[in-house]
Structure 1
């Protein structure tokens, strides 16, 4: 074999490898995800960073929103194909069939939300006549209402002030515009800095454990059923990684959300990351639906809002629903 022939063969081989690589890259299908700026989208960030999406042929395009509510709203206006949110905002937006819940994605343990109050409030009964801040339409909203209910405080005995973000709640606590609010993440420390406020209790006192769900545009699931299943497989792999590698997972999430790494690592302790559709998710879903029914919202049920077939195909063992 001449030197010229060797060069030609080498170039041909390199070209074939390059072409194969390009062909592989072109097989990735885009999926647009909406996540919040903290840990709600943990599995999505980990799946992207660890290559779980790429392994499933997915080009993950991720947009970060201030809250999970905004991420879910992005589905409704076509800015995302899938998004993660806590049960309250998802259940309250699922009427009309535009959204489909694919799976529970994590359970929130008690303690994630802290009730920060001004120093003159010593007990739940002292909230009567006070201004209480809520992140309207979020899980924190429902937790606040449940806490008042558990303590026998009628809603008309307090003044509820609605906000759209944690930042607004913190600023309003510090300025004295409101007297109390459930905060979370680094908002708790920021709210209590200065000594004028303290943590009275946490969301365990509201006696509910909330779940988060991965939801999708119904139209997307109908047009791309195989891609929907592939996404759940990637998220399941990410869940398993987080369970056994929390420190590394926290670093990956913090890098993408720009939240402090220590804060992210602490938040991971308040959630159990695992895909599931069980009676636990169904019970939590019903609790939110029943609460919304009191506000005369359009009725919604677990059976009409959740489609388990995609998770059944992706990971059959994770679907355990009784009759």
Structure 2
């Protein structure tokens, strides 16, 4: 009898626990996130593993895509509700009201892109008449154009050669097909390992303000405003965690991206993690939208696609926009 009584108590406890978990699940809002396999999704992974999403009642369903561009596109085709991405793909895809930009999530510190040139090129002036590789339609493309402009060169003064990947840019530098190109990540070391190329400058010489954003499918955002605010609350907490605990954050991010912790830690150093919508974000956004208008016939403006209301509810001081 004692065993039967204990068994009954245990069964009741299990039933109560199950009911509690069910009630908790009912209180959670499912949000599908799209991220890339690098560090753009840092706050998403940290918010997930540190319980910040759960604390805000968010059941985060995270899908990793091959690139940030694909992560953003996943919203358009119905595979994600929210996505994080760098400014260039975010701006160029936020057309026709399909997407709503919710907040800047980090600012990219100068130095990510490095201008690798052949040894005989000693200054920007020497680029006149040379072949310069670009990753067509990307931030690297814009960095190149802005660097030329900053040094008194137009696109007509050089020959821009378009490519679709970093691998192609590096291979073309080493083969001599092009004379110079802004490259990034491990492409920098690979480009100069032959001893016939070197880094002339980094992207700080282009004078751009660069950020990453969290963007939502407009229909999801309008139908789930409370969930959007909850997501931003969790990401705000994750931003603080990354800033205060970079090594621990790198370990979390590396476990999801399969990148070495030391490499992730180094990449985190290129960014300042903080949710914000200020004139800094507006300036960078508008530079890209002007470029997109010239090269892609895309009509986009900061004020028509960025909605600061949600971030205002999380951190009013993070929104500093003039009229």
Does TM, scored on the shorter chain, surpass 0.5? yes
- For 2:171, the equivalent position in structure 1 comes to 171
Deviation at 1:23, TM superposition (A): 3.6
Report deviation, 1:71.
2.2
Asked whether 1:33 is paired with 2:27, we answer no
Tell me, in whole angstroms, the C-alpha distance in 1 between the residues paired with 2:51 and 2:309: 25
SS of residue in 2 equivalent to 1:295 = helix
After TM superposition, list the pairs within 5 Å mapping 1:279-318 onto structure 2: 279-295=279-295, 297-318=297-318
Question: TM-score normalised to the size of structure 2?
Answer: 0.92
Residue 105 of structure 2 corresponds to which residue in structure 1? 105
Give the match for residue 239 of structure 1.
239
The answer to whether the 8 A contact 1:66-1:165 is kept is: no
CA RMSD of aligned residues (A): 2.1
> Cα distance 1:260–1:321, how it changes in 2: closer, same or farther (>3 A)?
same
Counterpart-to-counterpart distance in 1, 2:59 and 2:167: 32
| Closer, same or farther: CA 177–245 of 1 in aligned 2, 3 Å | same
| Residue 160 of structure 2 corresponds to residue 160 of structure 1 | yes
Question: Does residue 252 of the first structure (1) align with residue 252 of the second (2)?
Answer: yes
1:30 positional shift = 2.8
Partner Cα separation in structure 2 for residue 80 and residue 165 of structure 1: 25
Alpha-carbon distance in 2 for matches of 1:63, 1:123? 44
Q: Aligned pairs, how many?
A: 323
Structure 1 regions of 5+ residues with no counterpart? none
Pair 1:120-2:138 in alignment: no
Q: 1:26 to 1:178 in 2, by over 3 A?
A: farther
List gaps (5 residues or longer) in structure 2. none
Q: How many angstroms apart in 2 are the aligned matches of 1:10 and 1:35?
A: 42
Q: How far off its partner does 1:276 sit?
A: 0.8
Give a deviation string over 1:22-57, Cα, whole Å, max 9, x none: 442454433222222321111111111212122222
Any idea what SS the aligned residue of 1:259 has? coil
* TM-score w.r.t. length of structure 1: 0.92
Q: 1:28 to 1:302 in 2, by over 3 A?
A: same
List per-residue Cα deviations over 1:161-209 (Å, max 9, x = no partner).
2333323322332333332221222221222223232111100111122
